[in-house]
A and B are shown apart, each in its own frame.
Chain A
Amino acid sequence: EAQVTQNPRYLITVTGKKLTVTCSQNMNHEYMSWYRQDPGLGLRQIYYSMNVEVTDKGDVPEGYKVSRKEKRNFPLILESPSPNQTSLYFCASSLDNRRRMNTEAFFGQGTRLTVV
């Protein structure tokens, strides 16, 4: 089954304690990205990756890091989490649309992070 898998689904942590949210896709997609969803703000892109070893900032990258060492995985790293990073996070993947038209983004189930 084609899917994007995020782990964990729920996480409560303390300020300053490094954490990683994993994201894996089994569709051989080139493009992956991370979004955060906050009430009244919709989804905002944090980071994205066009392919292995190619990453770039989205709209709200402060306080986050990513890496893309393998095509299927795109972890989101919070090196020193703060309460303002409490949010619902989504990973998404899609084919590289410069080569294929009419593709769609597939989203993971989400990770609800609380930083206290």
Chain B
Amino acid sequence: AQSVTQLGSHVSVSEGALVLLRCNYSSSVPPYLFWYVQYPNQGLQLLLKYTTGATLVKGINGFEAEFKKSETSFHLTKPSAHMSDAAEYFCAVSLFFGNEKLTFGTGTRLTIIP
């Protein structure tokens, strides 16, 4: 069975600073990895995904993530935080071709300090 661990349920960064949200996974087979963002009172929106190929994945809103098999990690980064980035972020893993069954981490709430 697969699992996802997100380190830090709350992360605060200053506007303009680097955003780093951590995600580690466990999986018996090569996984497919995803980051979703949830803004207040809204559903989940896909930020980016890794399926195969290039291990550095670029997503929307300037976010990117790197798949590191040796570290079983898929950390999310953004060079310069913006106030609009304040939201909850979920890392998820799937063992199938896509995301028919997503196993989610517990989420990280990102706060941006003006």
Interface residues of B in 32-46 (CB under 8 A from A): 34, 36, 41-46
A58 at the interface (CB under 8 A from B): yes
Which single residue of chain A is at the shortest CB-CB distance from B4? Answer: A42
A109 at the interface (CB under 8 A from B): yes
Verify A42–B99 contact, CB threshold 8 A: no
A60 at the interface (CB under 8 A from B): no
| Residue from B34, B46, B51, B105 in contact with A42 in the complex, judged by beta carbons closer than 8 Å | B105
Verify B90–A42 contact, CB threshold 8 A: yes
Main secondary structure of the interface of B (DSSP, over half): loop
Interface string of B10-38 (1 = CB under 8 A from A): 00000000000000000000000010100
| Distance A110 CA – B34 CA, assembled complex (angstroms) | 20
How many of chain A's residues have a CB under 8 angstroms from any CB in B? 30
Verify B99–A109 contact, CB threshold 8 A: no
> What residues of chain B have their CB less than 8 Å away from a CB belonging to chain A?
4, 9, 34, 36, 41-46, 49, 51, 90, 92, 96-107
Given A42-B105, A100-B98; 6 other pairs, CB 8 A cutoff: A31-B100, A33-B100, A42-B4, A58-B101, A104-B49, A110-B41
Q: List 18 A-B contacts (CB under 8 A).
A: A4-B43, A31-B100, A33-B100, A42-B106, A43-B90, A43-B92, A43-B102, A45-B102, A48-B101, A92-B44, A94-B98, A95-B98, A100-B98, A101-B97, A105-B102, A109-B42, A109-B43, A110-B42
